[in-house]
Amino acid sequence: MTIEDIKKILKAETLTGEKLLDREVKRVCASDLMSDVLSFTLEDALLLTGLTNIQTIYTVEMADLLAVCFVRGKKPDERTIQLARTKNIPILTTNLSMFESCGLLFAEGFIDSFKKEP
């Protein structure tokens, strides 16, 4: 499945990276702790988080993740969006909570970001 599919499942809106939504996603990582993300996440995952600051974008960049989706309708400031744009990192935002988002994606067959295979 692609980022576009996740966007539909979570009824999310794109804040930047509209043209990069065809990237293939297998794994999803859900965390507000960036060090945990850096520690356990395999590359090519989408990050679900409630943390909207600039460190989220750097974490996605350093760990080679594909995109970030903010939960509970959170939106980062313009500077953070701008940084994501220059790094080619798509940002989505959904009104669903972290719990609901995880549940829906889990039900669709996405696997946890620190598991190699399902």
Partner 1 sequence: MEKNNSISKLQELAYELKIRDIMTTRVTTVLPTQNIKDLRKIMHDSSISGTPVMENGKLIGIISIEDFIRSLVRGENNKTVQDIMTHHVETLCADEPVIHAVAKFEKFGYGRFPIVERKTGELAGIITKSDIIKGMLRKLEIDYREEEIHRYRASHLFEDVVADHINLTLEYNVQGQNFHHAGEASSRLKKTLQRMGLPLEIVRRAAIASYEIEMNIVIYTNGGKLTASLLPGILSITAVDKGPGIPDIQQAMQPGFSTATTTIREMGFGAGMGLPNVKKYTDDMQITSTLGKGTEIITKIYLKDQNAQT
Q: Which residues bind partner 1 (CB under 8 A)?
A: 19-20, 22-24, 32-39, 43, 49, 51, 53-59, 61-64, 79, 87
Output the six-digit token pair for 2. 């692609």
Residue placing its CB nearer to partner 1 in the complex, 40 or 112: 40
Residue placing its CB nearer to partner 1 in the complex, 61 or 104: 61
Question: How remote is the C-alpha of 108 from its chain's centroid?
Answer: 16
CA–CA distance, 92 with 17 (Å, rounded to integer): 9
Rg over CA atoms, the chain: 12
Residue 61 C-beta: closest distance to partner 1, Å: 6
Residue 115 C-beta: closest distance to partner 1, Å: 17
DSSP-based three-state secondary structure for 109: coil
Residue placing its CB nearer to partner 1 in the complex, 44 or 112: 44
Residue 80 C-beta: closest distance to partner 1, Å: 10
DSSP-H helix ranges across the chain: 3-9, 34-40, 54-62, 78-86, 98-107
Residue placing its CB nearer to partner 1 in the complex, 22 or 117: 22
